[in-house]
Amino acid sequence: MARKLILLKEAKKQLKNEWLAFVIKKELSEDEILGEVIAHNKDKRELHKNLRAKKVKDAYITFTGRYIKPGYEIMFNEN
């Protein structure tokens, strides 16, 4: 069964706070990327386990929620 092509930004809206594996099919513009969601999961380890089981070689993997939990901060130090 063929997967539905979707814009990356729409997939991120639909799958909030999940890890997303996305195969890019076409870049329509700088911020419009068309492709397929091949896997998603709230647990990053489970997503990677799923991708290994499917023998996926190439995918864009991103988290669709906040990287930093509320109440935490990150500081970068440039040397």
pLDDT at 60: 96
Beta strands in the chain (DSSP E): 6-7, 19-29, 32-41, 60-63
pLDDT at 70: 84
Spatial separation of the C-alpha atoms in residues 26 and 68, rounded to whole Å: 30
Mean pLDDT (10-residue bins), the chain, 79 residues? 84 96 94 96 97 96 88 85
Length of the chain: 79
* The model's pTM: 0.78
Q: Which tokens sit at 27? A: 């870049």
